[in-house]
């Protein structure tokens, strides 16, 4: 059964494929906070856009999500599952592969759109 998450993940995946950091930024809340292993909290839409712009300049990315659970609670929703990303250097060389579990919290914004508001993952680098 399709959920709000499926549409957002499809949009996110298409934006990553298109290397469109502006679309990715539009899919997160202005006050978003994302927590990644061994890194300070990533805060705000502009930070997300700058991160992906930087990554797209250096890598081809393949990012997938597989949800284990999704829940909707009024203006908020959450999902957790597996986050998988492969980063292939544009300059050549070996790809880097990260896999882990992640949790996303979404919020319905005043314009009616659902956006990613908070997220955390424990993705770790996998051996080639």
Tell me what pLDDT residue 128 has: 62
Show the domain range for 109.
Answer: 4-126
Tell me how far apart the alpha carbons of residues 92 and 32 are, in angstroms, rounded to a whole number.
Answer: 33
Q: pLDDT tens digits, residue range 26-82?
A: 999 999 999 998 899 999 999 999 999 999 999 999 999 888 999 999 999 999 999
Helix (H) or strand (E) holding 55, with range, is: helix 45-58
How many structural domains comprise the chain?
1
Q: What are phi and psi of 107, to 5 degrees?
A: -135, 140
**What pTM was estimated for this model as a whole?**
0.91
- Residue 7: band (very low, low, confident or very high) from pLDDT cuts 50, 70, 90: confident
User: Across the strands, what pairs with 116?
Assistant: 28, 106
Query: Cβ(121)–Cβ(102) under 8 Å?
Result: yes
SS3 75: coil
Tell me how far apart the alpha carbons of residues 88 and 85 are, in angstroms, rounded to a whole number.
Answer: 10
Q: Are strands 124-126 and 42-43 parallel, antiparallel or unpaired?
A: unpaired
* CA–CA distances in Å: residue 90 to residues 23, 58, 70, 95, 128: 21, 6, 35, 10, 18
Contacting residues for 125 by C-beta, under 8 A, at least 6 apart: 96, 97, 98
- Give the residue, 127 or 61, on which the prediction is more confident: 61
* 93: CATH: 3.10.450.50
């Amino acid at each position: 059964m399709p959920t709000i998450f499926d549409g957002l993940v499809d949009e996110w995946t298409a934006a990553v494929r298109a290397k469109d950091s502006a679309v990715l930024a539009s899919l997160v809340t202005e006050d978003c906070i994302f927590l990644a292993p061994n890194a300070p909290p990533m805060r705000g839409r502009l930070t997300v856009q700058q991160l992906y712009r930087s990554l797209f300049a250096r890598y081809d990315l393949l990012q997938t999500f597989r949800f284990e659970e999704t829940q909707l609670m009024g203006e908020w929703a959450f999902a957790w599952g597996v986050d998988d990303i492969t980063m292939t250097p544009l300059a050549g060389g070996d790809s880097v592969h990260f896999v882990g579990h992640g949790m996303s919290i979404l919020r319905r914004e005043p314009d009616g759109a659902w956006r990613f508001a908070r997220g955390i993952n424990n993705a770790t680098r996998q051996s080639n």
